Structure 1
Amino acid sequence: MKLLAIGAFALVSLVASTAVAQTQGPQNPGPNIPGVCVYFNQRLLATSTAGQAVQTRMEQLATEVQGELAPYATSIQTEITALQQGGQAADADGSRRTALQARIQEAQTLEQTRQDELRYTLSEQRRLISAAVEPILVAVYQERGCGILIDRESVFILNPAMDVTDTVIQRLNTALPTLSFNRLPVPAQAAQ
């Protein structure tokens, strides 16, 4: 079933942010350009306490969903095996196959619903983190005298003195030390 894919998706989307390629920088990183600041949101999501809480909880929720769907997979596989071994005599009127098809459809629908819930839950937690980070970024931008704030993903090599990410992470850890949440149902308007 696709459940492993959604669990992997949630895990990879969070863990991949920590696996960003770090190159051995040059011996002389160049000048600290006044007014140019760089921020790395992926590192914040991977290393802040709130980001790590989201990653841990999403892994737990994916495991819960797997546990919820496992009985469907087991009963479906058992019924398929029974029908294959019993041949035509096991389902002379076709009612077992019809019931099996309905069970498969029910499992697929539930799996899709849970995948959508996990995606929505992850996006909502990231939205909460972003809402908490925005005023911190504005404050750091003003304190550092930034004239421009560049996304770290757009920069290959930079002078570390221009990177404000660590400051933002420290302040976020104070402002939003963790997040506690459960799987969220997808609102009707978002599902359409």
Structure 2
Amino acid sequence: MQSSTFQTALRAAALSVAVTAGLSVAAPAVFAQDSAPKADAAPKADAAKAAEAAKGSELKTPIIAVIDVQKIMQESNASKSVSKAFETLRDSYQKEISTLEDKLRKGEDELRKQQTVLAPEALANKRRDFEKQVAEVQKTVQTRKRVLETTLNEAMAVVHKTMVEVVADISRERGANLVLARQQFVLVDTQLDVTDAVMERVNKKLPQVALNIPKP
């Protein structure tokens, strides 16, 4: 078994803090809820109420804010803490798997040497034992891969949730009813960009996130 086996498995769980290209947080539209006109109301009154209802049901003019989602998810203190903890966990798993692979290589060499001295039945038993060891190592690799993926996704979900909460707060404060991702645009007026404000609050609200590593 080559060491590239574990390296390939790890690629699937490699740290990636880019999130979906867009984030939209829109305030709910408010519609007028006027009662229906009475049957005996005068035509002018009916027309006035209809006009008022139409006016109240008009969509609000978009008040836009823009945020660099990728920057928050990559450069916030919480994201950096996740990255550092993830790398430490990944390295520990790499060492564990490397040790198991070394043991398999030695077992394979020993089995090859015994091919000419062991009876066929004894050799077959040795081979079955070795194949079981290989299967166990493969199972361990897959288990560690799932742990890496799960812990990373859960930790980054906490960062993302906090970011959305902060964006919602800032949008309410600024009266924004539409928040868009910076990655969707080539040019953005700096007055619309709330990334720095979001970053500051996210760092304060969530300075770090611990990885939730399941017990073996």
Q: Cα–Cα, structure 1 residues 12 and 90, in superposed 2: closer, same or farther, change >3 Å?
A: farther
Tell me how far apart the structure 2 counterparts of residues 58 and 116 of structure 1 sit (CA, whole Å): 13
Residues 83 and 90 in structure 1, CA contact (< 8 A), matched pair in contact too: no
Residues 1:4 and 2:1 aligned together: no
CA drift at 1:181: 2.9
Tell me how far apart the structure 2 counterparts of residues 90 and 121 of structure 1 sit (CA, whole Å): 47
SS at match of 1:129: helix
Question: Unpaired segments of 5 or more residues in structure 2?
Answer: 19-61
Range moving further from structure 2, 78-87 or 64-73? 78-87
Residues 1:152 and 2:182 aligned together: yes
Q: How does 1:181-192 map to 2 (within 5 A)?
A: 181-184=211-214
Choose from 93, 98, 105 the match for 1:70.
Answer: 98
Tell me how far apart the structure 2 counterparts of residues 91 and 165 of structure 1 sit (CA, whole Å): 72
- What's the % identity of the aligned pairs? 22
Residues 49 and 173 in structure 1, CA contact (< 8 A), matched pair in contact too: yes
CA drift at 1:152: 2.5
Residues 1:37 and 2:40 aligned together: no
CA drift at 1:90: 5.0
> Partner amino acid for 2:16?
S
Q: Cα–Cα, structure 1 residues 154 and 184, in superposed 2: closer, same or farther, change >3 Å?
A: farther
Tell me how far apart the structure 1 counterparts of residues 130 and 119 of structure 2 sit (CA, whole Å): 11
Residues 64 and 179 in structure 2, CA contact (< 8 A), matched pair in contact too: yes
Residues 152 and 211 in structure 2, CA contact (< 8 A), matched pair in contact too: no
Residues 1:107 and 2:137 aligned together: yes
| 1:147-168 deviations in Å (ceiling 9; x for gaps) | 3111223223323332212211
Q: Cα–Cα, structure 1 residues 84 and 156, in superposed 2: closer, same or farther, change >3 Å?
A: farther
Q: Cα–Cα, structure 1 residues 55 and 96, in superposed 2: closer, same or farther, change >3 Å?
A: same
Residues 1:50 and 2:53 aligned together: no
Larger Rg: 2
| 1:123-168 deviations in Å (ceiling 9; x for gaps) | 1101211222222110111223323111223223323332212211
Question: Unpaired segments of 5 or more residues in structure 1?
Answer: 18-33, 187-192
The equivalent residue for 2:152 is: 122
More helix by share: 1
CA RMSD of aligned residues (A): 2.3
The equivalent residue for 2:33 is: none
